[in-house]
Structures are given as C-alpha cells and as structure tokens.
C-alpha cells in the first residue's frame, strides 16, 4: 500500500539517492545534501511503500505569491499510478498562492517524460491577497 506524508521522517537518504541514480534523476547531491534540500524546503511530499521512499517532491515559497515545486520524482516501477499527482496536489494545498507550470508541463512532470515547462499560466490558490498589516516596535 502506498502512503504519503508531508515530512521527511523515515527517509533512508542513501537508498533514495541510489534509486535516483538508477532512475537517471540524480543531480549529484550526496545523501546529506539531498536531506538538507528537503529539510530546508517549506513543504515536502513523500510517497512510501512500506519503509521505502518511492516518490518525493518539494516546494519553495516566499509565503506571499510565489511557490516553486521541484524535485518531483516517482520511482520508475511506480509511475502512472497517480503518485506524482498526489504529491503535487499535497504541495499545492499547502501553499496559499503558487505559480505552477502550465497544464501541459504538469502532465509531463507527472508522466516522467522530461523537464517541465517554465511558464506560469496555471495559478493555484488565492492570488494577490491584500498585504498583511505589519507592526514593528517603532509603530
């Protein structure tokens, strides 16, 4: 059974790195760098079968109007089962306003057919909210 979580607890970073290498999705990060990349991200989505991480995605956000989803990967043995879509949906729900790749680019991410487009035609969440009132010690 595939389970999903929004944190990195339980990830075997060395095994994940080896799986990324096998799937030709590795970008040279060491297990420690891979762990830091995910743990320093505002939001993560991880997919597991048992104790094995079989999918990951993360989002970087300014908390206002831009969020970038990256490192979307599903192990090749588990593709086309909706795992990538679920992880992207988890991240989209966690970010109040996110610019996402176009629908065509999103499908390519989820299908594992290449690098996503960089267009921002699809916007998820509430966009251009009024700014929050900021208070300082001087005010």
Classify 112 in phi/psi space as left (phi over 0), alpha (psi -120 to 50) or beta. Answer: left
Range with the lowest mean pLDDT among 3-17, 53-67, 123-137? 123-137
Domain boundaries, the chain: 2-97
Class of CATH domain 2-97: alpha beta
Tokens, residue 83: 């795992």
Q: What's the half-sphere exposure (Cβ side, CA atoms, 13 Å) at 135?
A: 1
95-121: pLDDT as tens digits: 865 555 444 444 444 444 443 434 343
pLDDT of res. 34: 95
**Residues near 136 by beta carbon (within 8 Å), at least 6 away in sequence:** none
pLDDT of residue 62: 80
Cα dihedral 39, 44, 50, 54 sign: negative
| Beta-strand pair 67-74/97-100 | unpaired
CA distance 127 to 129: 6
Amino acid 100: pLDDT: 54
């Amino acid at each position: 059974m595939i389970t999903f979580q929004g944190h990195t607890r339980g990830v075997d970073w060395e095994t994940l790195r080896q799986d990324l290498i096998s799937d030709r999705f590795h970008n040279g990060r060491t297990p420690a760098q891979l762990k830091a990349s995910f743990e320093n991200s505002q939001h993560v989505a991880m997919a597991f079968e048992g104790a094995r991480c079989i999918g990951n995605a993360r989002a970087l956000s300014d908390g206002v109007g831009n969020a970038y989803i990256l490192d979307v990967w599903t192990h090749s043995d588990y593709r086309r089962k909706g795992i990538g879509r679920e992880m992207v949906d988890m991240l989209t729900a966690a970010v109040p306003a996110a610019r996402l790749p176009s629908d065509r680019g999103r499908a390519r991410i989820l299908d594992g057919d290449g690098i996503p487009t960089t267009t921002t035609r699809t916007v998820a969440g509430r966009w251009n909210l009024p700014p929050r009132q900021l208070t300082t010690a001087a005010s």
